[in-house]
């Protein structure tokens, strides 16, 4: 019985490694804008993980996995079941938020100064938000699309470890960014 347990454990280690390698490859391909290959590689990781109901290896890649699964959900030719993609997307998002909140709470509790490097564009958009401009108005003033403004705001929130505009403004002032 012990030999069987050890062989199963060894098999799961190898399987877990294969799943993780496929996940990293899929995320890398997506970053390289090789979307079709990324979806195919994610599908292979799913096929390996599904019989054992492994989801954690996908979820821990939080932001990147959320982006990839969102793309896969929009892709008409994706062979991965939609409910599974939605579950991984939702859990990745929740994991990312919890991790961000834990880091923020830890830094506050331990009085760790968190100097956040924001790009010039991020600072400009944050300043315009503090002045009450809408996303559409910011898009016009910055000569970018509204979707780009939304994406930049999302990055600002992530960098500042906040969930709302008032929190972002407070964090930016505390960090002397605006």
Q: Judge whether 149 lies within some domain.
A: yes
pTM: 0.59
pLDDT of 4 reads: 58
pLDDT in tens, 129-161: 989 899 999 999 999 999 999 999 998 988 888
pLDDT of 115 reads: 62
Domain identity same for 73 and 133: no
Domain identity same for 6 and 64: yes
Burial label for 92, CB within 10 Å (0-12, 13-18, 19+), is buried
CATH code at position 145: 1.10.10.10
Domain identity same for 8 and 70: yes
3-state secondary structure of 34: coil
Domain identity same for 11 and 87: yes
- Give CA–CA dist 2/161, Å, rounded: 46
Q: Judge whether 160 lies within some domain.
A: yes
Which of the four pLDDT bands, split at 50, 70 and 90, describes residue 116? low
More confident residue, 140 or 115: 140
CB distance 84 to 46 below 8 Å:
yes
Please state the length of the chain: 178
DSSP string, 58-108: HHTTHHHHHHHHHHHHH-TT--S-HHHHHHHHHHHHHHHHHHHHHHHHHHH
Q: How many domains does the chain have?
A: 2
| Mean pLDDT value of segment 3-18 | 69
- Tell me which residue range forms the domain holding 11: 2-93
Domain identity same for 74 and 150: no
Residues with Cβ within 8 Å of 99's Cβ and at least 6 positions away in sequence, in order, are 62
pLDDT in tens, 77-100: 889 999 999 999 999 989 988 887
Which of the four pLDDT bands, split at 50, 70 and 90, describes residue 9? low
Q: Judge whether 154 lies within some domain.
A: yes
Domain identity same for 66 and 145: no
Domain identity same for 57 and 10: yes
Flag whether pLDDT at 2 surpasses 80.
no
pLDDT of 106 reads: 82
pLDDT of 134 reads: 92
Least trusted range by pLDDT, from 56-65, 112-121, 161-170:
112-121
Q: Judge whether 108 lies within some domain.
A: no
Where does a domain end: 93, 108, 140? Answer: 93
Burial label for 39, CB within 10 Å (0-12, 13-18, 19+), is buried
Q: Judge whether 111 lies within some domain.
A: no
Domain identity same for 135 and 65: no
The tokens for 46 are 């799913």
Tokens 């292979």 — which residue? 44
Domain identity same for 65 and 131: no
Torsion of CA 126, 95, 93, 32, to 10 degrees: 90
Domain identity same for 9 and 74: yes
pLDDT of 77 reads: 82
Flag whether pLDDT at 70 surpasses 80.
yes
């Amino acid at each position: 019985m012990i030999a069987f347990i050890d062989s199963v454990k060894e098999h799961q280690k190898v399987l877990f490694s294969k799943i993780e390698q496929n996940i990293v490859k899929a995320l890398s391909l997506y970053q390289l804008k090789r979307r079709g290959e990324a979806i195919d590689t994610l599908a292979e990781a799913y096929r390996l993980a599904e019989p054992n109901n492994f989801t954690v290896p996908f979820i821990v890649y939080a932001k990147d996995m959320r982006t990839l699964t969102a793309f896969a959900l929009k892709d008409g030719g994706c062979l991965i079941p939609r409910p599974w993609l939605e579950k991984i997307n939702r859990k990745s998002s929740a994991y990312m938020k919890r991790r961000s909140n834990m880091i923020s709470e830890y830094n506050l509790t331990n009085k760790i100064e968190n100097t956040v490097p924001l790009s010039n564009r991020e600072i400009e958009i944050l300043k315009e938000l503090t002045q009450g401009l809408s996303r559409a108005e910011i898009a016009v003033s910055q000569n970018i699309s509204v979707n780009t403004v939304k994406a930049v705001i999302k990055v600002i929130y992530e960098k500042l470890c906040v969930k709302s505009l008032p929190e972002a403004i407070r964090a930016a002032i505390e960090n002397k960014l605006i």
